Chain A
Amino acid sequence: MTTATNKEELFIVKEQDVVPLRNRVKEYGVKIGMSILNQTKLITATSELVRNLLKYGGGGRVIIESVTNGRDLGVRVIFIDKGPGIKDINLAMQDGYSTGKSLGLGLPGTKRLVNEFDIQTELGNGTTVTIIKWKNG
């Protein structure tokens, strides 16, 4: 059972919003005493997903939360966009697949960087990606 203790919501509409978001996520990591390595993994994952949110989802909102499952503390970040959605989720989760001109590592790479990864998408209705990085994960 994962419960949230602290919550914040940010709106992402332009590339300039990426750096402040990353800094906020980092602060959440620092607050629960996350190691530098896990902080870097978390902000890199955030960076990947927020770029997707901007590029494919046309912007959206991001919710940052401090969470706990009773044993461990962690940071949960939820990315919500109202974009076109992802057509083939299995394909999008494959390494090297990209509909844009990028490396195609965003989604599968992010999944490897965090402890919990969940993606919900519906064509025409947008995409919601939820990640959790545990302090000792």
Chain B
Amino acid sequence: MQNNLLASLKEHQNKLLTTWSQLLQANGSTDGVTEEEESKEFAALLLDALQHSNGNTDSDEFEKVYDLLIGISSSRGRRGFSPRENAQYLIAFKEAASSILSEIESDPVKLYSANLELSTLLNNMTILTFESYMKGREDVISRQIDEISEISTPVIRVWDGVVALPIIGTLDSSRTQVVMENLLQQIVDTGSSIAILDISGVPAVDSLVAQHLIKTVSATRLMGAECIISGIRPEIAQTVVHLGIDLTGIITKASLASALQTAFDMLQLTVVKRK
């Protein structure tokens, strides 16, 4: 059964809004104009829903409130509010509503049950805001992951017939897939016969990374191109030897410059200093 008291909050909408925005200002979780409009809309929808849906918190009216709330909290997330401030938004509303309830009702029993109902409703809404706040943040993270894997495997055409691919960071299975696809596609697109894989930016070469490198080299060779691995640092060289990884069938160089020199030799090009 819907508590009549909650329904009658609608009559005190303006007062509620004022108290609410005062509370928000007091704890600093507001940023002014945008906020006020959002709050007005939210309060109006919620109070309407309380008035019309007879205590059924799954009704269409409440669905609208939830949708709006999700929108508000993800927009607050983007505007840089902390999770604490986001939660205070609804908690302040609860305080404001509860103070109005105690003004319009003096019977403690009725007041208690109205407050209880209000608490349950707004607690659920607070959970909802948290979920959507987190979701907003997670969306940002997953977008960044996509962007990172996109920009982290650039294939550079260093010379006519020579492409280079600097690898930075860890080479895991999914990344190897992207690297290999990009490299093979570029070999076709540019008609290159030599590909240089630079691993200066790879922190450690373990047997899995080595296996991925060997596979990439084999795939490149199948395309009729030669693959040179460059950027092997002294400590990486020693570690690879201790691990027992056999890279003897692969042309490896210490630096990108010497790899390019080797590529020139293969293409029978000479770089000469102009007099």
A105 at the interface (CB under 8 A from B): yes
Shortest Cβ gap from A66 to chain B (Å): 20
B59 at the interface (CB under 8 A from A): no
Contact B243 A44 (CB under 8 A): yes
Among B206, B234, B236, max chain A CB count under 10 A is at B206
A39-83 CB mask vs B (1 if < 8 Å, else 0) is 111011001100100000000000000000000000000000000
B4 at the interface (CB under 8 A from A): no
Known: A37-B234, A37-B238, A103-B211. A112 touches B244 (CB 8 A): yes
B188-223 CB mask vs A (1 if < 8 Å, else 0) is 000000000000000111111011000000000000
Q: Total interface residues on B, using CB and 8 Å?
A: 20
- B205 — which chain A residues lie within 8 A by C-beta? 44
Known: A36-B235, A102-B211. A22 touches B204 (CB 8 A): yes
Contact B244 A105 (CB under 8 A): yes
- Complex: how many Å from CA A103 to CA B213? 12
Contact B235 A109 (CB under 8 A): no
A85-97 CB mask vs B (1 if < 8 Å, else 0) is 0000000000100
Residue in B173, B211, B238, B242 whose CB lies within 8 Å of A109:
B242
- Complex: how many Å from CA A122 to CA B30? 59
Contact A109 B244 (CB under 8 A): yes
Main secondary structure of the interface of B (DSSP, over half): helix
- A113 — which chain B residues lie within 8 A by C-beta? 239, 242-243
Contact A41 B170 (CB under 8 A): no
Contact B207 A102 (CB under 8 A): yes
Residue of B nearest to A47 (CB): B206
- Complex: how many Å from CA A109 to CA B210? 13
- B251 — which chain A residues lie within 8 A by C-beta? none
Q: Which of A28-43 contact B (CB under 8 A)?
A: 36-37, 39-41, 43
Residue of B nearest to A36 (CB): B235
- B207 — which chain A residues lie within 8 A by C-beta? 48, 102-103, 105-106, 109
Interface range, A side? 20 to 34
Main secondary structure of the interface of A (DSSP, over half): helix
- Complex: how many Å from CA A110 to CA B207? 10
- B239 — which chain A residues lie within 8 A by C-beta? 37, 40-41, 44, 113
B172 at the interface (CB under 8 A from A): yes
Shortest Cβ gap from A40 to chain B (Å): 4
- Complex: how many Å from CA A91 to CA B208? 20
Among A37, A102, A106, max chain B CB count under 10 A is at A37
Contact B204 A40 (CB under 8 A): yes
Known: A43-B203, A44-B243. A102 touches B236 (CB 8 A): no
Shortest Cβ gap from A115 to chain B (Å): 12
B245 at the interface (CB under 8 A from A): yes
Shortest Cβ gap from B211 to chain A (Å): 5
- A51 — which chain B residues lie within 8 A by C-beta? 206, 208
- B172 — which chain A residues lie within 8 A by C-beta? 15, 18
Residue of A nearest to B172 (CB): A15
- Complex: how many Å from CA A19 to CA B239? 18
Contact A105 B203 (CB under 8 A): no
The 16 sampled A-B contact pairs (Cβ below 8 Å) are A22-B204, A37-B234, A37-B239, A40-B236, A40-B238, A44-B204, A44-B239, A95-B244, A102-B207, A102-B208, A103-B207, A103-B210, A103-B245, A105-B243, A112-B243, A113-B242
* Residues in chain A within 8 A of chain B (CB atoms): 15, 18-19, 22, 36-37, 39-41, 43-44, 47-48, 51, 95, 102-103, 105-106, 108-110, 112-113
With A18-B172, A105-B244 given, can you name 10 additional A-B contacts, CB distance below 8 Å? A37-B235, A40-B235, A40-B236, A41-B239, A43-B204, A44-B206, A103-B211, A105-B207, A110-B243, A112-B243
Q: Top 4 A-B pairs ranked by shortest CB distance?
A: A109-B243, A40-B235, A47-B206, A105-B207
